[in-house]
């Protein structure tokens, strides 16, 4: 139970940080976003397509299916990299609750990364 509580606290902290970043971007302020450290593209872009904050309700935007054929290569590469990492974990870690958690975290990472691609820099 302690591990679950610790993960819940980490998720709450990340949500707080992301909300701060979104609120400041929505006000037009320039702030260093985490994704700038990992990509040469400007924040809010997928494959060079400039993302803009949605004019719709952010909740509506987050919970809407985003069909973007240009994003398919991003989803494929994310899934393939995660599959490779999951196989490494499977080969090297003995079966245990920790291994099951590790594989679940890889799966969750794929889902969050795919959500980031689908929302193209937007969020709550």
pTM exceeding the 0.75 threshold for the entire prediction: no
Q: How many CB atoms lie within 10 A of CB 60?
A: 9
Q: What is the domain partition of the chain in residue ranges? A: 32-119
Residue 93's pLDDT is 96
Q: Cα dihedral sign for 14, 16, 21, 23?
A: positive
pLDDT by position in tens, the chain (length 124): 677 777 777 777 777 766 665 565 555 444 343 433 333 344 444 444 444 444 567 778 777 877 888 899 999 999 999 999 999 999 999 999 999 999 999 999 999 999 999 998 887 6
CA distances from 102 to 14, 20, 51, 86 (A): 19, 29, 32, 8
Q: How many CB atoms lie within 10 A of CB 121?
A: 21
């Amino acid at each position: 139970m302690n591990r679950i509580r610790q993960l819940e606290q980490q998720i709450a902290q990340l949500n707080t940080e992301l909300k701060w970043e979104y609120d400041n971007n929505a006000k037009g302020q320039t702030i260093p976003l985490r994704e700038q450290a990992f990509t040469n593209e400007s924040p809010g872009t997928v494959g060079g397509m400039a993302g803009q904050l949605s004019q719709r309700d952010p909740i509506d935007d987050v919970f809407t299916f985003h069909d973007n054929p240009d994003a398919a290569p991003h989803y494929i590469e994310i899934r393939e990299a995660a599959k490779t990492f999951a196989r490494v974990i499977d080969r090297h870690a003995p079966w245990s609750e920790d291994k099951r958690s590790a594989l679940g975290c890889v799966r969750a990472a794929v889902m969050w990364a795919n959500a980031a691609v689908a929302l193209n820099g937007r969020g709550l």
